[in-house]
Amino acid sequence: MGTANRSDAVDRVRAAADLFEVVSEYVALKKSGARWRGLCPFHQEKTPSFYVDPDKQLYYCFGCSSGGDVFKFLMLYEKLEFPEALRSLASRYNVTLPEGRAGSEVSERQRIVGLNRQVMGFFRDQLLRPSGERARRYLASRGLRREVAERYGLGCAPEGWTALKDHLAKSSGAEALALAAGLLAKKEETGRTYDRFRDRVIFPILNLTDDVIGFGGRVLGEGEPKYLNSPDSPAFNKGENLYALPFAKEAIRKGGQAILVEGYMDAIALQTAGVEQAVATLGTGFTAGHVRLLKRFTESVVVNFDPDAAGRQAARRSIETLLEHGFEVKVVALPPGKDPDRFVRDEGAEAYQARVAGALPYVEYLAREVAGRVDVSGTQGKVKALNEVLPFLARMDNPVRRAAQVEMLASVFGIEDRLVLQELKEAVRDRRREVGGRAVSALASKKDGSDAETGLVRSLLDHAEVRTALLKEVEEADVTSGRVLEIVRAVRRLAEAGTEVTYPRVASEIGDAAREALTRIAAASHPPATLEGGRGCLRALRAEGLQKQMKEITRRIETAGGGEFAELSLRKLDLKRQIEALGGVSV
């Protein structure tokens, strides 16, 4: 391409291209006066400092000083050389470029992309040959029809060490380029080259402009590794690409949410079933590059990794990165032993969509998971549970979202003490990773029981006539503190045996923990015991129990439907009447 022709071509492409339109595919922009503003895609920032001026057809970031025209933007973002950016924009805006010595201007990246496209055809052809029989059987066993395999460009790498190498030998210079692309590997000791992908189902990896940038392969036999990706190359970086995103991007943009899964087959199975917003990681941890990629389309992600231990660990790492970058993250929980691919094939897309609709915000999911394996009835359990969850909560960048989690954590872990709640609020506000000593002290004091429970203990011990009357009325179900219940049982045993009931005598009948609680209750100042006061404590305990039931029923009503909703509503109304009859707070 001559200098004059080249200059003319550049001017025609620049005149046809719309910078705002191009940038909008990569960055979420909002109107700001005569310009548009968004988070800079070239450095990490929390406050938008990246501006696009449609009139001048220029962009500029006040944070990192990156700026330029549509060519510069595309070159930086897609890591293109100028000739590649020129061709990409010319193709997009239907501008014909003059013929010339374009081949000399093609970068290594573009040559690798071209070779990958050719090799994808080779792998697809192998799938249709007799040697592809095992791969076809495997795909059929996973429920993939031929048209699905064609849509995703699936192929097969045959057995043996040199099938692809021999195929590429027909083209001059292809072997060196195939090494750079990671299609071939070299044995260091001998310098011999061989096929990297052997006896595998092949999954081509495409970027958002439909370039074939790399491949993934699933072994057909018993070999290792089970999954193998192309190594990083000038065309491919697994930390900056997501599998099946080109097929999912419009569904993500339209629905405002992406579903992040672990494997190629999970993404294909979900998309084929109609869950089109599914994308998969490429055998690496979730990175800042993945975040930048997804932020073009959404800031809301539902994570659905395999339910095994490795899957849960991978999910946690991905979620940490997403939370740190301001994403709203929810988690889909599937039955043990069922990955997304298996679940959607067995249960159907509607059942899977219902799971997605019911996905819990990650912090709540984690809190309930922790509460299921940690005993949160005592001090140590509550502190341990909080300190497992708080590091993830601290990663949330949005202070409003963080503050909204306090009530949920208090409910899940059964924290009602005012001082503990205040300490929790401060820990969440300050993004601390654990609760302080004030919470531990307050939780320790709650072991002795609620105010009503400690008041009941004093009423039973301080006045014989009050004790006699109350023992006829109090039931074990009225008491929730294990230590207070132990004290009440000891008092009842002594009274029924006709033995004098005193603090020392009761202390001799109970264990160390309950004895410590009794000592603290006895040492605290309190008014004289009366039957009216004791009955007031008993009514308060029953009201507390009913209010806990009310909270649980209210929570269940939020997700109930049909007959269950009506039944729970009637139960809630009955509880309200019981609480009001006890003199409790009207709900």
CATH number of this structure's domain 240-358:
3.40.1360.10
C-beta separation of 412 from 400 below 8 A:
no
CATH topology for the 451-581 domain: DNAb Helicase; Chain A (1.10.860)
Q: What are the residues whose beta carbons fall under 8 Å from the beta carbon of 474, sequence distance 6 or more?
A: 456, 488, 538
User: For 67, which DSSP code?
Assistant: E
Q: Tens place of pLDDT for every residue, the chain, 587 residues?
A: 555 566 778 888 888 889 999 999 888 899 999 899 999 999 888 899 999 998 889 999 999 999 999 999 998 887 777 888 898 898 888 888 876 544 444 678 889 999 999 999 999 999 999 999 999 999 999 999 999 999 999 999 999 999 999 999 988 889 999 999 999 999 988 889 999 999 999 999 999 878 999 999 999 988 889 999 999 998 999 988 999 999 998 899 889 899 999 889 999 999 999 999 999 998 777 888 888 888 878 889 999 987 666 667 777 778 888 888 889 999 998 888 889 999 999 999 999 999 999 999 999 988 988 888 888 876 677 888 998 899 888 888 778 888 888 888 988 888 776 666 777 888 888 888 887 655 555 555 555 456 778 888 888 988 889 899 999 998 888 887 778 888 999 999 999 988 888 888 888 888 887 888 888 788 777 778 888 888 888 888 888 778 778 777 877 776 666 677 778 788 888 888 887 777 644 33
CA distance 78 to 321: 22
Other residues' Cβ atoms within 10 Å of the Cβ of residue 352: 25
Q: What angle do CA 8, 10, 16 make, to 5 degrees?
A: 105
The amino acid sitting at 107 is S
Structural domain 108-236, CATH architecture:
Alpha-Beta Complex (3.90)
Tokens of 345: 């094939």
Looking at domain 3-103, its CATH class is alpha beta
Instruction: Give the start-to-end residue ranges of the domains of the chain.
Output: 3-103, 108-236, 240-358, 365-446, 451-581
Q: Partners of 456 in the beta sheet?
A: none
| Backbone φ and ψ of 183, nearest 5° | -75, -35
Q: What is the CA radius of gyration of the chain?
A: 33
Q: Partners of 194 in the beta sheet?
A: 185
Identical fold for domains 3-103 and 451-581, yes or no, is no
